């Protein structure tokens, strides 16, 4: 009896921890005569009994003449700053990527089962986390790797029965019993009898999500130019959930979604709320090394260090090189020449300060910037030059 479906003529990496799910999967794959399998095992040495898990996998592979790739981690876990599970996942998937390159195999099989799917959904509900898909996806990508979960229709109870019947050895994860982990608490309180009902709810939510995603894609595709996202009334009238998804999609296209992935939802919520309610033409939210900036009707993303305010006092020609980093440096030098080189001058992009201190075409610079609707991106990336005595800006700010 074939318990799950896969294309048996393809080659696969198989993630095998030695636990019941992955040992069951491996055993089934052998019965199905899959063309080419490379077993991948990571020994985290996190638990005292982890060498035992490795031995179970080694033994099985030896007996069935399977290729095995192992990664043994030597790490002082007391120094680990992140949550172990998400750290371990990254190590594991990066290892799969490495093995995938070595063997030229694109697909990796992961042994998540039906219970995992339901539990994941309940966890998502509890954490109110931002999700792209409720429950678990049959396939997803990690870098260039295709992650396949062929066992999402199989109950844990079926797996345990089959392992016993077929006398397959597996490791028991001691931390699974520990209800201080949220997932284990959910697991302990969950009955497989409720799965049908929960799965109906998951399907309903996923189909709603698909509709929203289509609208979000449409919005982003039609309102993005040169890496910037236009914010229009249409978007501001949507609910916060829609706006958050729009930001996420935009960052995903820029390949910068990692900046919010490991953050609390607070950041993306704050951005969405600003978009919806703030009437300011300019605001800035810092996330790690980046800043998201609202600039009139546009949002742009930039490395914070690039827009740091910088001010140079230029006492003589020799000091001009100091300001070379500004993209309008030549303009600045020409403006000084036109002014007959009456040093000292100030070159700065610190617009919050110079707009108050200086004059442009006889107006307070602040007035000029507002009247001409000078973009904040230009204020931050380009500099102005003014004579220290006259406090008049000499170049044209565009």
The residue ranges that bind ligand ATP (CB under 6 A) are 15-17, 21-22, 40-42, 85, 89, 92, 110-112, 116
Nearest residue (CB) to ligand ATP, 154 versus 216: 154
Instruction: For CA atoms 359, 364, 365, 369, give the dihedral sign.
Output: negative
Alpha helices in 112-238 (DSSP H): 114-127, 156-165, 182-189, 195-222, 233-236
- Closer to ligand ATP by Cβ: residue 117 or 268: 117
DSSP H helical segments within 303-392, as ranges?
A: 329-338, 351-357, 365-371, 376-381
| Closer of 136 and 314 to ligand ATP (Cβ) | 136
**288 annotated to a ligand binding site:** no
Q: Smallest distance, Å, CB 20 to ligand ATP?
A: 9
Q: How far is the CB of 394 from ligand ATP (least distance, A)?
A: 58
Q: Where are the alpha helices (DSSP H) in 288-349?
A: 329-338
Strand order in the sheet with 228-230: 224-225, 228-230, 298-303, 290-295, 282-287
Angle at 378 between CA 373 and CA 381, to 5 degrees: 160
Is 194 annotated as a binding-site member?
A: no
CB of 265 to ligand ATP, least distance (A): 19
Nearest to 154 by CA among 1, 17, 21: 21
Please, which residue, 143 or 233, has the CB nearer to ligand ATP?
143
CB neighbour list of residue 234: distance below 8 Å, 6 or more residues apart: 219
Helix/strand/coil for 385: strand
Least spacing, CB of residue 119 vs ligand ATP, in Å: 9
Q: Is the peptide bond before 344 cis (omega within 30 degrees of 0)?
A: yes
Smallest distance, Å, CB 52 to ligand ATP? Answer: 13
CB of 178 to ligand ATP, least distance (A): 14
Please identify, using beta-carbon distances, which residue of 154 and 292 lies nearer to ligand ATP: 154
Q: Which is nearer to ligand ATP, 182 or 388 (CB)?
A: 182
Question: What's the min distance (Å) between Cβ of 253 and ligand ATP?
Answer: 24
Distance CA 291, CA 398 (A): 22
Q: Cβ(220)–Cβ(248) under 8 Å? A: no
**272, containing H or E segment:** helix 265-277
As measured in angstroms, the least distance from the Cβ of 176 to ligand ATP is 9
Q: Is 17 annotated as a binding residue?
A: yes
Judged by DSSP in three states, 97 sits in helix
> Among 165, 82, 382, which residue's Cα sits nearest to residue 398?
382
What does the DSSP 8-state code read for residue 166? T
Q: Is 36 annotated as a binding residue?
A: no
- Tell whether residue 309 is among the known ligand binding residues: no
Question: Please, which residue, 84 or 218, has the CB nearer to ligand ATP?
Answer: 84
Nearer to ligand ATP, 42 or 299 (CB): 42
Binding residues for ATP: 17-22
Return binding residues: 17-22
């Amino acid at each position: 009896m074939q318990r799950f479906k896969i294309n048996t003529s393809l080659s696969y990496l198989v993630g095998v921890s030695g636990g019941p799910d992955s040992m069951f999967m491996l055993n089934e794959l052998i019965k199905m005569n899959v063309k080419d399998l490379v077993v991948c095992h990571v020994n985290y040495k996190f638990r005292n009994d982890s060498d035992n898990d490795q031995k179970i996998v080694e033994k099985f592979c030896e007996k069935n003449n399977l290729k095995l790739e192992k990664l043994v981690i030597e790490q002082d876990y007391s120094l680990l700053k992140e949550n172990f599970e998400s750290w371990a996942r990254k190590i594991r998937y990066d290892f799969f990527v490495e093995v995938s390159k070595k063997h030229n195999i694109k697909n990796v099989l992961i042994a998540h089962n039906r219970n995992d799917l339901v539990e994941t959904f309940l966890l998502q509900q509890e954490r109110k986390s931002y999700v792209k898909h409720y429950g678990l996806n049959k396939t997803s990508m990690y870098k260039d790797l295709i992650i396949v979960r062929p066992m999402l229709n199989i109950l844990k109870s079926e797996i345990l029965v089959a392992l016993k019947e077929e006398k397959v050895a597996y490791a028991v994860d001691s931390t699974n019993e520990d209800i201080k982990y949220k997932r284990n608490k959910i697991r302990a309180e969950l009955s497989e009898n409720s799965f049908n009902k929960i799965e109906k709810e998951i399907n309903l939510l996923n189909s709603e999500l698909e509709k929203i995603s289509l609208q979000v894609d449409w919005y982003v595709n039609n309102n993005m130019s040169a890496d910037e996202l236009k914010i229009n009334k249409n978007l501001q009238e949507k609910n916060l959930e829609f706006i958050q998804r729009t930001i996420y999609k935009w960052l995903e296209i820029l390949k910068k979604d990692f900046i919010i992935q490991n953050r609390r939802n607070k950041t993306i919520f704050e951005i969405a709320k600003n978009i919806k309610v703030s009437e300011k033409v300019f605001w800035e939210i810092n996330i790690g090394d980046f800043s998201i900036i609202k600039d009139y009707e546009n949002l742009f993303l930039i490395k914070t260090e690039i827009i740091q305010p910088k001010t140079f006092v230029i006492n003589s020609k020799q000091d001009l090189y100091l300001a070379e980093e500004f993209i309008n440096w030549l303009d600045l030098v020409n403006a000084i020449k036109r002014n007959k080189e009456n040093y000292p001058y100030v070159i700065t992009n610190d617009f919050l300060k110079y707009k108050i201190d200086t004059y442009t075409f006889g107006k307070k610079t602040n007035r000029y910037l507002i009247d001409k609707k000078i973009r904040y991106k230009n204020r931050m990336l380009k500099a102005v030059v003014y004579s220290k005595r006259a406090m008049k800006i000499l170049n044209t700010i565009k």
